């Protein structure tokens, strides 16, 4: 995970809209003993900022409080200034492994209780590790704040008494499964770790992967992990940030009570920022289980917040930031690459200007040709220079990104926490805006000459197995292997064990749940009958408009599968008036996005705009929608990209599993049984005339409905939507689905993925169609303890108890006329048969016996309180409105759902389990290495039938 910094430029008009009162009188609080107020930052006129108060406890814990009473929720973040950069050679993976250990209970919090407490409180939680920091966070209804502070403080101060060898071994296996799923079993998954070995000197903190090398994980011990905790997890190396709706005085008292007695840890100093240089260009290559060759190039540059970071960011955008960039023009537009782009990711100690290009086999796929094109593009930039439009486009994009990033409390809290951790300045929005506002053309050319022009680089080729002839250049670099560090941790000093003056084993009780406010919606029709549903949201001056068109892939014949997606892609290209590059440039100048897309049951248009730029944005939507160019050159490129993109997806075991399961479930003659992306055969057969014909069927007013969330009210927004009143055309009926095929019992279907590091198991059957208050909703409640929550039976069994997987889930998914039940997980290849046994055991037991009273209480508490989190952002509000619109629900349907949650009996839910979860009715699919997994599956007594995807 890369460090995200707020760095966008905001216009004064928008600044004023977000700013609020400039001279708000600050309430003086009587601070608890040991708590010091460090600073108070309020919003001021014409300057965007995130207001906060910063405190410090006597033990060094930094506390940041940000008030946001717009929703009845709080977001709690604890960030420790430790990531993989604090590790030593041969001892990689500790920071991430320890992140896992922090969820395994502490002295006063039982095993698996952390997830259960947060989930039962109606909240969500997670933790992330990157090179420079580890953070843990929860979003919960505001009445649950004290409970979160109890949880976070107990694992900060009292983790070690509960850390056992068994927990350590299980989490080590879980991390290995995570690595297998996210890296080893994923196309191009090992690219970054191999690339960083070449870019950074041996022993550099960024030269090993965050998740760790497998051999380093194997040599780790429980004592190593304990020492890592003692060295880095003291309160003096942590920042506690809270945002949302809370009482400040009460919160400070709780923080002091729960965190104040935790002793300081060893002193922590920031790592040194040593410039990274290369003596010559380094070429490396790797064969992988991929379809498309990929070239990845990197130049070492500066570090986060360096004075040259901002102009380097702008340089990267000019070179490869979208359709107006030089890289897009020379590589993608010309057909040499399916995808390409340039970025300038920055971390605490180092940044790099990175360029990637996925080669198009239609042009040979030779990466040496791609490298030549890249070098020619860099030379073209030097001759072309920087234009006024280049600077303005990038700065406006930054402006919009900042505003959209302020739509959630989590986004603001994350920004405050990161800035405090790395720079000691929580709110850097204004200074970041100034940095980017002040970048000049000369600055961009200066950093180009300093860091890019004629400078050594790392060039990595990733090619399909057996096609080494496609590499850009023979390897000329091999990473050094350093001696394994004798100790996993340095700088460890004697630390005091935490003691408590109160009984920490008593979990705090929550006050009454906050009153929830469901978005107030309005409904209207345009002159041509298009239904519009909207709600007002005043937190940011933005507009989210979504236009849905019934049909999607369901409108197309099976032999034309993929035409809905291709048509949407063409509507993202040229109009009859302007080229796709000109349209993209116009959008960039507005900071807006317009995207056409399609799924199995609908096509849709998503529009995001700053309110002040809405009229100009809608004019571009109108141009794309009503005046498509449908140029043959655009079509040839888009079609080729779609075919190659599909070929790439066919190297991903998860895509294979999803597509294969749908084929088995619905049949190859059903539009639900064929991916909306199509097949290679169907895509190859589609012509531009097919796209034009589908456009006439799909993009007509009779198929359309709209959802809008904005700071404008109904009377203000509706006149602006009149641009769509010219839209004509009656609705097109969607054909009924054919009957699902019947499969033999006691059969496991197997799709061979030779050499796969994991097997993807999918089990399921046709099931209920969607309804908001009937059996479908009750099935969701019934499934929650089985596989719908993190601490569900299936996940605890396969992940926490057995260590077979990184995660296992079950779910019901339904639409108007189709539905299914699914259970799925990616598991270690060597335990494929054992994992299948556990799935069957859990499903069978639940079908026969159902949930327990304790599980019923857990489900009720969790779901009843989670609504506080459901309507925070404009996009969440839009999703809520679309649910009502699509399924013609009563506006108060959530009240009915609440009543069902609180009153449905355990008997009724268990009857549903008995009815819907018969294992004999389910299809079992495994995607994995046939040679290694088939014998184990047959030994279980199953018939094993090898199948392949439709081509």
Long-range Cβ contact pairs of 377-380 (< 8 A, separation 24 or more): 377/319, 377/326, 377/327, 377/330, 377/331, 378/319, 378/452, 378/453, 380/326, 380/330
Q: Give the mean pLDDT of the chain.
A: 92
Least confident stretch, 179-183, 320-324, 430-434, 445-449: 430-434
DSSP 8-state class, residue 872: S
What average pLDDT score do residues 753-758 get? Answer: 92
pLDDT band of 892, cuts 50, 70, 90: confident
Domains in the chain, CATH or no CATH each? 59-259 (3.30.830.10), 282-408+429-470 (3.30.830.10), 521-724 (3.30.830.10), 747-946 (3.30.830.10)
**Angstrom distance (rounded) from CA 702 to CA 549:** 8
d(CA 207, CA 90): 11
List the single range of 43-52, 93-102, 628-637 with lowest mean pLDDT.
Answer: 43-52
> Poorest-confidence range of 78-82, 268-272, 341-345?
268-272
302, 294 contact by CB (below 8 A): no
Q: Is residue 937 a contact partner of residue 926, using CB atoms and an 8 Å limit?
A: yes
How many CB atoms neighbour CB 631 within 10 A?
A: 18
What interhelical angle do 580-590 and 614-626 show, nearest 10? 160
Helix (H, G, I), strand (E, B), or coil: what is residue 359?
strand
Can you give the pLDDT at residue 511? 87
User: Range with the lowest mean pLDDT among 487-501, 538-552, 556-570, 733-747?
Assistant: 487-501
Confidence of residue 427 (pLDDT cuts 50, 70, 90): confident
- Predicted confidence band at 280 (pLDDT cuts at 50, 70, 90)? very high
Q: Which residue(s) pair with 550 in the sheet? A: 602
CA distance 556 to 600: 10
Residue 822 near residue 786, CB atoms below 8 Å = no
3-state secondary structure 447-475: HHHHHCCCCCCEEEEEEECCCHHHCCCCC
Sheet holding 531-536, edge to edge: 521-525, 531-536, 704-710, 542-550, 602-610, 593-598
Say how far residue 755 (Cα) sits from the centre of its chain. 28
Half-sphere exposure of 59 (CA within 13 A, CB side): 26
Burial degree of 812 (CB within 10 A; 0-12, 13-18, 19+): buried
433 CB-near residues (< 8 Å, 6+ apart): 7, 8, 9, 10, 48, 398, 402
Higher pLDDT, 274 or 188: 188
Please, which pLDDT band fits residue 393 given cuts at 50, 70 and 90? confident
Backbone φ, ψ for residue 464 (5° rounding): -60, 150
Q: Name the burial class of residue 921, with classes exposed (0-12), middle (13-18) and buried (19+) by CB atoms within 10 angstroms of its CB.
A: middle
φ/ψ region of 491 (left if φ > 0, alpha if ψ in -120 to 50, else beta) reads left
pLDDT the model gives residue 28: 56
Q: What is the pTM of this model?
A: 0.91
Sheet strand arrangement including 73-80? 35-41, 52-57, 62-67, 238-244, 73-80, 134-141, 124-129
- For residues 807-825, average pLDDT: 96
% of the chain surpassing 90 pLDDT: 82
C-beta atoms surrounding 945 within 10 Å = 11
Residue 893 has phi, psi (to 5 degrees) of -60, -25
Determine the pLDDT at residue 433. 82
Q: What is the pLDDT of residues 689-704, one digit of tens each?
A: 999 999 999 999 999 9
Minimum mean pLDDT among 27-41, 139-153, 689-703: which range? 27-41
């Amino acid at each position: 995970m890369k460090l995200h910094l707020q760095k966008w430029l905001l216009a004064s008009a928008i600044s004023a809209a977000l700013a609020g009162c400039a001279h708000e009188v600050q309430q003086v609080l009587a601070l608890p003993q040991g708590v010091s107020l460090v600073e108070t930052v309020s919003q001021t006129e014409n300057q965007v900022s995130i207001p906060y108060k910063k405190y410090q406890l006597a033990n060094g814990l930094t506390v940041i409080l940000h008030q946001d009473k717009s929703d009845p929720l709080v977001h709690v973040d604890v960030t420790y200034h430790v990531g993989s950069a604090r590790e030593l050679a041969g001892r990689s993976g500790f920071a991430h492994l320890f992140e896992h250990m922090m969820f395994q209970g502490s002295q006063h919090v039982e095993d698996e209780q952390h997830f259960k407490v947060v989930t039962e409180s109606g909240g969500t939680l997670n933790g992330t590790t990157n090179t420079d920091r580890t953070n843990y966070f929860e979003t919960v209804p505001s009445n649950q704040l004290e409970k979160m502070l109890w949880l976070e403080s107990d694992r900060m101060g009292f983790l070690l008494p509960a850390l056992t060898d068994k927990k350590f071994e299980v989490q080590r296996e879980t991390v290995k499964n995570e690595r297998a799923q996210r890296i080893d079993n994923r196309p191009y998954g090992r690219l970054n770790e191999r690339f960083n070995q070449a870019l950074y000197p041996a022993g550099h903190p960024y030269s090993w992967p965050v998740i760790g090398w497998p051999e380093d994980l194997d040599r780790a011990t429980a004592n190593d992990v304990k020492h890592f905790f003692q060295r880095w997890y003291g309160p003096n190396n942590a920042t506690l940030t809270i945002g949302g709706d809370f009482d400040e005085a009460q919160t400070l008292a709780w923080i002091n009570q729960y965190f104040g007695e935790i002793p300081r840890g060893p002193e922590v100093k920031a790592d040194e920022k040593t410039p990274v240089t290369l003596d010559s260009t380094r070429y490396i290559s790797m064969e992988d289980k991929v379809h498309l060759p990929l070239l990845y190039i990197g130049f070492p540059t500066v570090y986060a917040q360096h004075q040259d970071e901002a102009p380097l960011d702008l340089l990267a955008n000019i070179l490869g930031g979208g359709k107006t960039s030089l890289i897009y023009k020379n590589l993608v537009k010309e057909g040499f690459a399916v995808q390409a782009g340039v970025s300038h990711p920055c971390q605490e100690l180092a940044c790099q200007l990175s360029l990637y290009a996925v080669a198009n086999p239609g042009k040979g796929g030779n990466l040496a040709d791609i490298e030549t094109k890249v070098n020619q593009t860099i030379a073209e930039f030097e001759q072309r220079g920087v234009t006024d439009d280049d600077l303005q486009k990038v700065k406006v994009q930054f402006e919009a990104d900042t505003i959209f990033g302020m739509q959630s409390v989590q986004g603001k809290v994350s920004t405050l926490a990161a800035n405090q951790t790395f720079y000691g300045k929580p709110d850097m929005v204004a200074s970041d805006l100034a940095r980017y506002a002040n970048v000049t053309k000369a600055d961009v050319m200066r950093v180009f000459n300093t860091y890019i022009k004629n400078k050594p680089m790392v060039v990595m080729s990733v090619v399909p197995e057996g096609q080494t002839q496609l590499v850009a250049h023979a390897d000329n670099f091999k990473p050094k292997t350093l001696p394994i560090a004798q100790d996993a941790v340095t700088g460890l000093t004697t630390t005091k064990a935490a003691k408590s003056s109160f009984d920490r084993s008593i979990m705090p009780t929550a006050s009454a749940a906050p009153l929830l406010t469901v978005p107030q919606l309005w409904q209207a029709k345009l002159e041509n009958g298009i239904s519009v549903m909207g709600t007002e949201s005043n937190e940011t001056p933005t507009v989210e408009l979504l236009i849905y068109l019934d049909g999607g892939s369901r409108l197309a014949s099976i032999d034309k599968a993929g035409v809905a997606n291709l048509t949407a892609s063409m509507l993202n290209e040229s109009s009859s008036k302007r080229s796709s590059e000109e349209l993209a440039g116009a959008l960039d100048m507005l900071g807006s996005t317009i995207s056409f897309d399609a799924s199995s049951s609908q096509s849709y248009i998503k529009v995001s705009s700053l309110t002040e730029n809405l009229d100009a944005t809608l004019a571009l939507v109108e141009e794309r929608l009503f005046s498509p160019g449908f140029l043959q050159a655009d079509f040839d490129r888009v079609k080729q990209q779609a075919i190659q993109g599909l070929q790439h997806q066919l190297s991903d075991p998860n895509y294979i599993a999803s597509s294969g399961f749908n084929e088995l479930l619905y049949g190859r003659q059903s539009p639900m049984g064929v991916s909306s992306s199509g097949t290679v055969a169907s895509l190859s057969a589609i012509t531009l005339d097919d796209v034009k014909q589908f456009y006439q069927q799909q993009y007509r007013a009779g198929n359309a409905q709209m959802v809008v969330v904005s700071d404008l009210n109904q009377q203000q927004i509706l006149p602006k939507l009149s641009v769509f009143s010219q839209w004509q055309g009656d609705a097109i009926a969607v054909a009924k689905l054919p009957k699902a095929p019947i499969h033999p019992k006691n059969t496991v279907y197997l799709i061979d993925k030779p050499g796969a590091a994991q097997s993807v198991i999918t089990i399921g059957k046709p099931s209920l169609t969607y309804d908001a208050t009937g059996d479908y909703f009750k099935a969701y409640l019934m499934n929650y303890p089985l596989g719908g929550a993190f601490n569900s039976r299936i996940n605890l069994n396969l992940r926490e108890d057995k260590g077979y997987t990184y995660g296992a889930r079950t779910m019901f998914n339904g639409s108007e006329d189709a539905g299914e039940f699914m259970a799925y997980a990616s598991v270690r290849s060597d335990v494929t048969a054992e994992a299948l046994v556990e799935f069957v055991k859990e499903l069978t037991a639940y079908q026969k016996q159902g949930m327990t009273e304790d599980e019923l209480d857990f489900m009720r508490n969790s779901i009843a309180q989670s609504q506080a989190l459901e309507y925070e952002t404009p996009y969440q509000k839009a999703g809520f409105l679309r649910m009502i619109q699509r399924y013609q629900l009563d506006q108060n349907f959530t009240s009915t759902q609440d009543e069902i949650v609180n009153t449905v009996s355990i008997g009724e839910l268990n009857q549903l389990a008995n009815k819907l979860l018969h294992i004999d009715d389910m299809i079992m699919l495994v995607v994995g290495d046939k040679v290694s997994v088939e014998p184990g599956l047959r030994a279980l007594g199953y018939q094993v039938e090898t199948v392949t995807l439709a081509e």
